[in-house]
A = this chain, B = another copy of it.
Amino acid sequence: MSSKATNTSPVNPQIDDAGHLRHFLTIEGLSKTQLMKLLDAASVFIGANSERRREQANLLIGHTVVNLFFEDSTRTRTTFEIAAKRLGAAVINLNPSRMSTRKGETVLDTVRTLEAMDTDIFVVRDSASGTAHLIARHVPPHVHIINAGDGRHAHPTQAMLDMYTIRERKGEISNLTFAIVGDILHSRVARSQIAALKILGAREVRVIAPATLLPTEVERLGVKAFTDIDEGLKDVDVVMMLRLQLERMEGQLIPSTQEYFRCYGLNQARLDRAAPDAVVMHPGPMNRGLEIASDVADSERSLILSQVTNGIAVRMAIMAQLVGAQGLQEIGAT
């Protein structure tokens, strides 16, 4: 599905002719230099004091960010809303499925209408793969698209905040072994994480899931697949848990949630098989006692709340870079 969307645009649609990032649609196709530049820019927005925050709140004044969530997600929408408002942007939240379907407009009519309002950034989320790419192919130069998750395809800002968090805690990514655990098959988060880890040169990337939740030929992504979590976690430095989407399961792909936790839930005993200083990540919101035990989620090893903090900074950096915000260099971002 993801490949279908990408194939229709032979050139990477998120890079303009001058090599600048115009949209942020997917990790695939970006260089290590581009990813590192975004991570460096994000660091400016971490731990800002009151004075710094005032300066940052000036960066996007006069700009408009539209949260265009065809698929509802209060949590993800909130992160983009906070990031945009901290930059001083005007923010409009839309759930256009309701708006447009009822009135019989097409998705592109909705998008054209919004871009005609001289808006600057669309943050797009949809349950269908390829929607952000589709929109990006049709918008005029003044509009920038950020993919906030499309179907099973990509969730690139999640992957970037994960990379930021790992680098912050562990330093160089190239020295580390990673394990992504959970529903790999349906996960846009896993796809974007794998792409980012490969570009940043991770030593080894493993995926761990029951066979029913592994994509066919998953090794083609450059990862090692495990169906036994105890084996897969051995000596890894970073354990990246995925959220189990209960609404997608319903007894078809996993026998029961209790059985899932017994076989694939991350508990302390399993974490002990990883490297001594291994850390645990989760994109949230967690199903405690399903994919992750509460004591692990709340332990010293957990980077889960750092991920949330860094998620705001990474999104601020991406928004500011896309529109080429004036004053970005003055506050220390390149």
Contacts and interface: CB of A to CB of B under 8 A. Distances in A.
Contacts of A62: 48, 50, 53-54, 56-57, 86
Interface in A36-95: 48, 50, 53-54, 56-57, 61-64, 74-75, 78-79, 81-82, 85-86, 90-92, 94
Interface of A: 48, 50, 53-54, 56-57, 61-64, 74-75, 78-79, 81-82, 85-86, 90-92, 94, 98-100, 103-106, 109, 112-113, 116-119, 246, 284-288, 290, 305-306, 308-309, 311-312, 326
Given A117-B82, A326-B50, A285 B61 contact: no
A113 B112 CA distance: 35
A100 B78 CA distance: 13
A312 to B, nearest CB: 5
Question: Which of A78, A91, A99: most chain B CB closer than 10 A?
Answer: A78
9 contacts: A50-B62, A53-B63, A54-B61, A64-B86, A85-B91, A85-B92, A109-B288, A117-B309, A117-B312
A186 to B, nearest CB: 16
A119 B78 CA distance: 12
A-B interface, 3 closest residue pairs, ranked by CB to CB distance from nearest? A53-B62, A85-B90, A116-B308
Contacts of A91: 85
Contact of A82 (B64, B286, B305): B64
Nearest to A310: B116
Question: Which of A100, A103, A286, A309: most chain B CB closer than 10 A?
Answer: A103
Given A54-B62, A109-B288, 6 more contacts: A53-B62, A56-B62, A78-B92, A78-B117, A85-B91, A112-B305
B92 A82 contact: yes
A113 B82 contact: no
A285 B113 contact: yes
A308 B48 CA distance: 36
Given A74-B99, A90-B86, A92-B78, A104 B54 contact: no
Contact of A309 (B92, B116, B311): B116
Question: Which of A48, A112, A306: most chain B CB closer than 10 A?
Answer: A112
Contacts of A94: 74, 78
Nearest to A83: B117
A326 B91 CA distance: 24
Nearest to A90: B85
